[in-house]
Chain A
Amino acid sequence: MIKKYNIYLVLIILFFLCALINPNFLSIGNLSNISRQLAVTTILAFGATILIIGGMLDLSAGSVLALAGVLAVDCYKSTNSLILSLIVGILAGMACNLINAVMVANFKTPPFIATLAMMTMARGVALLYTQGQNILQLGDFVVFGQGTVFGMPVSVIFLIVIAIFTWYILKHTRFGRSLYAVGGNEAAAVASGINVIRSKYIAYLINGAFVGLAGVLFMSRINAGQPNGAIGFEFHALTAAIIGGTSFSGGVGTASGTLAGAFIVGFLNNIMNLANVDSYLQQVIRGAIIALAVIYDIWTKGRRTKGHLGNVEDKNKKQKVAS
């Protein structure tokens, strides 16, 4: 039970530590800036969390984000409709992930390979579509990433909606329960009457919608339709999910954990910037944190479950005593 709340403890400690180190950290401007910056990767991280829980993965997130983003931008430029361009972005993300789902669920391609292929394809399509040129002068399109409603950044509102949505589907829907089972033990899920293929489709489609939305927010924030943007964003998303306690072996993870993981990364980046830590050194630190998070996860799990020789007898014993 201690482990379950560790991550939130880390987040709170980090928050106060940051506040102590640099008084600017607590300013409304800085906090709102952190949230705005975090919105895109955190939304991607929720998609990644859903997939990893189900034993899947999306390496194509960054590329698909770029493709969805430039399509949305172009749509806005030709129609001047914010709603329409948002829908186009989301649908583009879902379309790419529909292909991911077909490869993974129907053709049983390992998710790593399938989405690696999609990563390359989507980037290619984005570059083809724009002929490698950035789309500029976005006009009102920038409200998604830069605007505010009652003082609240629009992208943060989207983030909150996605966070609640993710929490809800994981916790309260049949799909959520099925997904944990599929990732925890696919064969047993099939034998329990779970529609595994459908679960995988839904997981990729939700991820696709998140990626598409993130594309709109990202392009809007940087004020350009960049076909070459968002490279490597999928790894930022994975980082947040993993630090948030999502297990790469599948079947374990929560929306709140991922949110905490994303903010831990965000706070760290922010405080390092405020403290003028060398940006190259920042990368080293970020990498080390991922490694530590994973080692910690495996270490605690090793004690929780079977040893490498596959007998759970000792644990059984413990439980008997406990009861």
Chain B
Amino acid sequence: MLEAEGLMVFYENMLALNNVAIRCAENQVVGVFGANSAGKSTLMYTLSGIMEDIRRKAQMAGGERITVMGRITYRGQDITNFKPSRRARLGIVLCPERRRIFKESSVLENLRIGAYLASAAQARETIEYVFDIFPALKKLKKRIGGFLSGGEQQMLAIGRALMAQPKILLLDEPLLGLSPLMQAELVRATRQIRDEMHISIIVTEQYARPVMPIVDYAFILENGAAVMDGRREELMDNPDVRSAYFGVQE
């Protein structure tokens, strides 16, 4: 469905992504695991096209030069040079790291902003669906986004991304800084989204264990390079991966 090959991203002369190839099939949950500075967020920004925006802003401000190379195809269409808004219209929607919800708008308003690409009927339907998978949000409908807890904000961010009617959802560290209970809740919701809405999902995480149960295929990034990939079982059997990303001591 979404396929990238030979992705290289330079921040000035620093290589952030080195020849990364990644693919996500229809209705699949793909995990991308790696430590800090492995290139997870860079990968997500590149796939969603936000990198182009970051590049232009840095250029205008006279900052570092960002070079992006490689090819991204989506359902057989080359989208390498598409703007982020066009990619979102095709159904590639990013739920950014640290949530980035609109802090001064209420929960409902946040969801409505996300529904820019949806028709009125779709929006109504999706709002119902979001409240269905995240019952906690329904009670907080009128609450201002900035006053929500971290977990509620993350739910809202995912909900907002869903409002754009994605075909493939890019979740960048959705479990960042959340309690194990909240993590489990979000992982459950993610699985539900995949199963019920048939949305493909690419999820990045530093620590693989909480999301591994729902991941079909995973890539492991180290220093900007995809050093390993495989189906869940294959990776779980690898002792190095087990100790580094699952915290299992042999």
The reply to whether chain A is a binding partner of chain B is no
Binding site for B on A (CB under 8 A): none
